[in-house]
Amino acid sequence: MAGHTETRETLHGCSIHVIRSGSGAPLVYLHGSGGGGLWLPWMEDLARQFSVIVPEHPGFGRSDTPEWLDGIHDVALFYLEFLAAENLTGVHLMGGSLGGWIAAEMAMLDASRLKTLTLIGPAGVHVTGVRKWDMFMATAEENARQLFHDKAMGDDAAKRAADPAGADIRMKNIYAIARLAWHPRFYDPLLMKWLKRIKLPTLVVWGREDRILPAEIAQGFAERLPHAEIEIVPDCGHLPQIEKKDIFVERVTRFIAESGR
């Protein structure tokens, strides 16, 4: 089993932390509000088929917080620049939650280096009347507990979120999240108008019991992306890639295979 490597890349005055593993077509994963910087089992699975690249967003974890970080478009444009700097083409772009929002913004702005788009319980679109979890009004433990449908997994996540060792990174991350998502809360009216520009093969995966961003929001994506495949995963919370890893990996690899590499 090939191990993963960790590198730093500097672009536009911002040095970010990047994890890489595997070979094949490039698959870039953008992490969610829970933070990045971790190499997870589902990534290992995908690295058997793809060259998996997992950057940590500007403002988060071990990456810098640049002066220019004002909103979600800054991150999306930064990553488009990152794809260009890495000279990546035919990219399978994937993002979860906040990262799904960033991925959708990138695809809306410039899809020229992208081959497919996979959004996992993405933020970015608001559906009138659907109430999202307000992570800014809850403790880190409460937030972590909401991530999973499975109670034991939720308890375990809450326990990890209470660990003082991670406190500094958690605080840095939530400051960055507020910058990007405080208002309007976790969505972008521009994206909602122009999401329809995206013609890429698109898969939207959503946990049916997502308590952070309810699965009803999938409808908001379906309306704007009529060609997208919508996969609602039963007995699953906000992180299908973790809570239902095997189902998720199978679904994504099938989607990419069918979309033609």
Partner 1 sequence: MKFFFFHLMPYAYLDPDYDKSYATDWLLYPNSNYDPQKGAELYNRYLDEIEYADALGFDGVCVNEHHQTAYGLMPTPGVLAGALSRRTKTVKIAVLGRALPLLNNPLTVAEEYAILDNITRGRLVAGFVRGIGVEYHASGVNPTESHDRFHEAHDLILRAWTQPGPFPFEGKYYQFDYVNLWPRPYQQPHPPVWIPSQGSSETIRWASAKERRYVYLQTFSPVTALFRYMDMYREEARKSGYEASPNQLGWSITTYVAKTDEQALKEAKPHIEFFVNKFLRMPMEMLLPPGYLSLSSMKGVMAAKASLGRHRTMEELIENGQFICGSPETVRRRLSEFQDRAGFNLVLPNLHFGTLPADLTRRNTELFAREVMPALRDRLPAGGREKARA
- Please compute, for residue 159, the number of CA atoms within 13 A of its CA located in the half-sphere on the CB side: 6
67 binds partner 1 (CB under 8 A): no
CA distances from 83 to 53, 121, 193 (A): 11, 23, 25
- For residue 92, which of 75, 125, 116, 110 has the smallest C-alpha distance? 116
Of the pair 152, 165, the CB lying nearest partner 1 is at: 165
Residue among 69 and 119 whose Cβ is closer to partner 1: 69
Spatial strand order in the sheet of 50-55: 5-11, 14-21, 50-55, 25-30, 91-96, 114-120, 202-207, 229-233
Q: Which stretch binds partner 1 (CB under 8 A): 27-35, 93-101, 123-131, 178-186?
A: 178-186
Could you say which of 18, 177, 191, 204 contacts partner 1 (CB under 8 A)? 177
183 is a site residue for partner 1 (CB under 8 A): yes
CB nearer partner 1, residue 142 or residue 235: 142
**Only segment of 133-141, 146-154, 223-231, 250-258 that touches partner 1 (CB under 8 A):** 133-141
Q: Would you state the torsion angle of the CA atoms of residues 34, 121, 254, 250, taken in this order, to the nearest 10 degrees?
A: 50
Q: Which stretch binds partner 1 (CB under 8 A): 35-43, 48-56, 164-172, 210-218?
A: 164-172
**How far apart are CB 62 and partner 1 at their closest, in Å?**
15
**Exposure on the CB side of residue 191, measured as CA atoms within 13 A:** 25
Among 40, 84, 130, 174, the residue binding partner 1 under the rule CB under 8 A is 174
The encoded tokens of residue 119 equal 């959004």
CA-based Rg of the chain, rounded to a whole angstrom?
17
State the minimum distance, in angstroms, from the CB of residue 175 to partner 1.
Answer: 5
Instruction: Determine the Cα–Cα distance for residues 171 and 14; give it in Å rounded to an integer.
Output: 19
The CA-CA-CA angle for residues 170, 171, 176, to 5°, reads 95
| Contact with partner 1 (CB under 8 A) among 2, 38, 167, 257 | 167
Residue 137 CB, shortest distance to partner 1, in Å, is 5
Among 4, 62, 73, 172, binds partner 1 (CB under 8 A): 172
Residue in this structure with the two tokens 């326990």, named with its chain if needed: 159
Q: For partner 1, how many residues bind (rule: CB under 8 A)?
A: 15
Q: Which of 3, 152, 165, 168 binds partner 1 (CB under 8 A)?
A: 168
| Residue (175 or 216) nearer to partner 1, CB | 175
List the one residue from 15, 162, 182, 193 that touches partner 1 (CB under 8 A). 182
**Residue length, the chain?**
261
Q: Which of 175, 196, 254, 258: binder of partner 1 (CB under 8 A)?
A: 175
- Let me know: does 84 contact 60? Beta carbons within 8 Å: no
Residues that bind partner 1 (CB under 8 A): 136-139, 167-168, 171-172, 174-175, 177-179, 182-183
